[in-house]
A and B are shown apart, each in its own frame.
Chain A
Amino acid sequence: MSGDIFAQVNLSRVYRRRKWVNNFILGLTGLTVILAIIPLIWIIVYVIIKGWRVINLDFFIHLPTAMGVPGGGVTNAIQGSIVMVIVASIIAIPIALLIAFYLLYYPQTKLGLSIKFSTDLLSGVPSIVIGIFGYALFVVPVKHYSAWAGGLVLAMIMLPVVVRSSEEMLKLVPKELREGSLALGAPEWKTSFSVILVAALEGVITGIMLGLARAIGETAPLLFTALGNEHYDVFSYIKQGIETNQSFWDILHKILSEPTDALPLTLWKYAQQPYPERVEQSWGVALVLMLLVLLLNIGSRSWLAWRRRQTHG
């Protein structure tokens, strides 16, 4: 009998120790989450405090002043970012949707699997390598940097992001919807566009937003394709074009074939310049960039979650 009592005492000690280890380590994981979030909060708060000071209307609508002269804005970067992201979206979104449809219809075929695989590979290729590729492909043949080249490399950055998220979203559409449409005699393309795509539209838009957020924050691929241009101003190109009676296409060509600035590119250059005004402005650029990216990310995700809850109760 006494042996049993000893066993019980030992056991209760073992139990207590196991429980203690359990609580200790699980508590530790909670601590790591807090630790992981500290840099995020730190960055956001710091950038807002530092960036807020330099942001005013001039910051958005004026070109940069000469180095060392205070004042001026970064409208060249804002316009350049918008132009290049539009180019990238026009190229990447339709192609990405077609690829997503291909992966939806032929998921287990040899080509389907290899396309899925190469999408994953493309999303893992370092952006600087894509930049070199864009330089060799789009800049060397025409011998000058341009918004075209920048937009095209950004399209390559966007493509895998949009493909993967839209494929996930298209997959969620019930098969019966597609079969019903085909049974009514609708051709496959019409079924795809007006049934499947419409049913998955919210998710697909979310995927596109994530792609935009990714493209707008990328610097490395633009270093050797868009290069940067402190005088880039779409409005002055349009005004000049109208004054000299150029056609719409000539003006568009002018806008797209100049070296172009972008927000992250400007941030990178300003942060390393010895002029304090520029460093101050780089915090403003960081604020604009970060707000854009985080709003696109969080906004689209929570919008999707909200819509899901609404439609599914």
Chain B
Amino acid sequence: MNNQRSLFPQRSNLRRQWSRYTNHGDRFWRGALFVSSLLILVLVLMIGWEVWVNSAPSRHAFGWEFISPWAQAVWNPALDRFNAWPSIYGSLITSFIALLLAVPFSVAVAIFLAELAPPTLRTPLNYMVEMLAAVPSVVYGLWGIYVFLPEIVHPIGVAVQDTLGIIPGFSIFFGGPIPASGISKLAAALILTIMVTPTIAAVTRDVFLAIPRSQREASLALGATHWETIWKVLIPMGLSGILGAVILGFGRAIGETMAVTMVIGNTSGGDYSILKPGYTMASIIANEFAEAVSELHSSALIEIALVLFVVTIILNAISRWLVMSVHRKTMGR
């Protein structure tokens, strides 16, 4: 009896304790936070898993030959023989040229935005850089086909084929003639230059802005000019951040799909010249996946997606790490 009476209040105590946990809803709230946060983690893993599993037939059929530059460059859905090197080469060469042009350019833009622009000019210019990044890539593609290619790319291509193209060793890469429409790897590279400039410029600008004012003042007080301060103090200090921005831009360029698909011509000939049409990894998927003729064909395209996924994950991881290291370095001081 006594025992039971003492048990009863204990139970009510338990219940009260339990309700203290649950009634105000924080258990549920924290659970929801936890679950939705796990979701994003699971999502990234699932993307990797899906492309890994679905590319199995192609991986088993071709092995490493699939991405090998030395294998026979053949992409033939009718024979079910696939080698991705031409499209990998297309991605690499277009992104590489785009970065070569965009990096000095965007660092200069970032210097102007972070160091020189007067406040009245700074806001509209920042907006414009954001807008440049926000224009949908199909709009770039449309403008590219009908305006940029015939008016800018074709003359540049002709100039390249007449200068670099006639040098014996270089003609593999710069051999013409460029098609009259301007459709070529060079066109993709130049469109990508315009598209990655705002990305690199915005991150580089933030890197410069993260560097404390005292560093500039110290350098100027020692008698350095503004440019010498930028070149000898700010750029070395922010170098890893700038490198991070460049790698981020590389990730963007290599994954960019629509604009490139519209201007690169989409042929898998395996021609090395930048003045000839070609494929990139993203554009071959966009162009062929919906009309894949065999299981092996679609799984080969998914394997390209796998390569693209792995490459961009690695690039992004490196770039985040580099940019974060600058912020940590400047915060620590």
Contacts and interface: CB of A to CB of B under 8 A. Distances in A.
A90 interface: no
A32 B112 contact: yes
A103 B302 CA distance: 33
Given A126-B282, A129-B255, A130-B47, A272 B36 contact: no
A274 B248 CA distance: 37
Given A32-B105, A42-B147, A125 B44 contact: yes
Secondary structure type dominating chain A contacts: helix
A120 B43 CA distance: 12
A62 B226 CA distance: 59
Interface stretch (B7-15, B61-69, B130-138, B232-240): B130-138
B255 A30 contact: no
B142 A271 contact: yes
A286 B138 contact: yes
Contact of B41 (A19, A39, A118, A124): A118
B286 A223 contact: yes
Interface residues of A, number: 86
A32 B109 contact: yes
A227 interface: yes
Contacts of A272: 262
A290 B132 CA distance: 11
B315 interface: yes
Interface stretch (A66-74, A109-117, A197-205, A233-241): A109-117
Interface in B82-112: 105-106, 108-109, 111-112
A18 B29 contact: no
Given A32-B108, A43-B143, A133 B25 contact: no
A148 interface: no
A268 interface: yes
A275 interface: no
Interface stretch (A2-10, A52-60, A213-221, A242-250): A213-221
25 contacts: A22-B225, A29-B116, A33-B125, A36-B129, A39-B132, A39-B194, A95-B39, A99-B37, A101-B33, A102-B33, A124-B248, A125-B47, A126-B309, A127-B255, A129-B305, A130-B47, A188-B26, A217-B136, A219-B137, A268-B258, A286-B142, A293-B134, A293-B135, A297-B130, A298-B127
Interface of A: 18-19, 21-22, 25-26, 28-30, 32-33, 35-37, 39-40, 42-43, 46-47, 94-95, 98-99, 101-103, 105, 111, 114-115, 117-122, 124-130, 132-133, 135-137, 156, 159-160, 163, 187-190, 192, 213-214, 216-220, 223-224, 227, 264, 267-268, 271-272, 279, 282-283, 286, 289-290, 293-294, 297-298, 301-302, 305
Given A36-B197, A39-B148, A111-B37, 10 more contacts: A30-B112, A33-B109, A42-B143, A98-B37, A128-B305, A132-B305, A156-B43, A223-B290, A271-B145, A298-B127
